[in-house]
Amino acid sequence: MTVPSGTIMDHDLYATGRALIVEGTVEGDVVAAAETVQVTGVITGDLWTVAREVSISGTVQGDIRVAAETVTLDGRVGEDVLAAGNNISVPGAVGGDLVLGARTVKMAGTVHGNVLGGADTYTRTGAVEGSEKIHIAAPAQVGAPLLEDQLWAAGRRMATLLLLGLVLVLFLPRLVTSPAAQLQKGVIHALLWGALSVVGILAIMIGILVGGILVAIGLASAALGSLASLTILVMVLGEALLIAAVIVVVIFLAPLAAAGAMGRFLLERLSSGAAASRVLPLIPGIVLLVALESVPYVSGLIRVLLVLLGLGAVVLGVLRGSGKPSKSKGDKGDKSHGGDRGDTSPRHARRSVSAARH
């Protein structure tokens, strides 16, 4: 999409596609998701964009919120800039604060506010009128990590999982016991459900993103800019909540489910009484899980498999956890016969005496 030079849009602009080029003037905000975003004209409001490459050589009078692989700010920004990317270059002017996170940052322009953030490499040849607080990442460690560091990391991992497992077993036991039971019933079944869950989560996230953008564009076309902005906000919040839920499941619940199943499997071979406990199986299970995650060369593959197993078990536990086992016909029959045996009415007594005489 292109806003030609000399064109004035007197409303917000919502755009998706291969490229967005603003050569004219947009009197409002611009929200864009494209491969390339170029602004050589004027945006009187804010710019919100996600792209592979973003180049600003014109003027944005409001804020800029950008996430891209390459960001070049060669124009003028009236207010704050929040940028995340691989390479960020700022040869232009920023009227407010510059908050960034990138691998490489080159600051050759002028920032009238503060410069905050982190980078692997930060080079400044320009001017910063406010404070400058950039965290430079430490160089990557060469060679294998020390054994002491590995043991310390493994100990923290075990302590975290054990503490969380105890809390969940005490207050929400089904979050641990139900997935562990599902994993014991079938490893392959849980692995397949874990893989399907990953595909489903990705599909939901893409659906929320595409659907939210399309709805926002439709509302903006109908001159409902406020509703379009609200739609974008709801979309971002929905994505954030979904990502947070996935992180909790993948980092904590899935490993606990795998640990519970492995611990119960081990204790069943040693002591049936200990295996029936809710807490005891977690201890050997967590130790075994952390040990498997620390195996050299194949630790990454093992972690992926454990996450898929645990995720599948959690999903199966949620799907099947609400159902209660129904009584079998044999149980009903035993109850019925038991009732006859327990009948002490006079009529039953007379039948018994008559049968004894015959």
* CA–CA gap between residue 246 and residue 38 (Å, rounded): 34
- The string of pLDDT tens digits covering residues 164-214 is 888 888 888 887 777 777 777 888 888 898 889 889 988 998 888 888 888
* CA–CA gap between residue 124 and residue 107 (Å, rounded): 5
pTM: 0.47
Nearest C-alpha neighbor of 14 from the set 46, 61, 57, 54: 46
* CA–CA gap between residue 325 and residue 201 (Å, rounded): 29
Whether the Cβ atoms of residue 83 and residue 116 lie closer than 8 Å to each other: no
* CA–CA gap between residue 313 and residue 191 (Å, rounded): 8
Q: What per-residue confidence (pLDDT) applies to 147?
A: 66
Q: What per-residue confidence (pLDDT) applies to 175?
A: 76
* Vertex 72 angle, CA 66 and 73, to 5°: 80
* CA–CA gap between residue 330 and residue 334 (Å, rounded): 6
- The string of pLDDT tens digits covering residues 25-73 is 999 999 988 899 999 999 999 999 988 999 999 999 999 999 999 999 9
Task: Give the residue ranges of the chain where pLDDT is below 50.
Answer: 142-144, 322-350, 352-358
Q: What per-residue confidence (pLDDT) applies to 184?
A: 75
Could you tell me the end-to-end alpha-carbon distance of the chain, in angstroms, rounded to an integer? 102
Buried b (16+ CB within 10 A) or exposed e, 26-49: bebbbbbbbebbbbbbbbbbbbbb
Q: What per-residue confidence (pLDDT) applies to 219?
A: 81
Q: What is the 3-state secondary structure (H, E, C) of the chain?
A: CEECCCCEECCCEEEEEEEEEECCEECCCEEEEEEEEEECCEECCCEEEEEEEEEECCEECCCEEEEEEEEEECCEECCCEEEEEEEEEECCEECCCEEEEEEEEEECCEECCCEEEEEEEEEECCEECCCEEEEECCCCCCCCCCHHHHHHHHHHHHHHHHHHHHHHHHHCCHHHHHHHHHHHHCHHHHHHHHHHHHHHHHHHHHHHHHHHHHHHHHHHHCCCHHHHHHHHHHHHHHHHHHHHHHHHHHHHHHHHHHHHHHHHHHHHHHCHHHHCCCCCCHHHHHHHHHHHHCCCCCHHHHHHHHHHHHHHHHHHHHHHHCCCCCCCHHHHHHHHHHHHHCCCCHHHHHHHHHHHHC
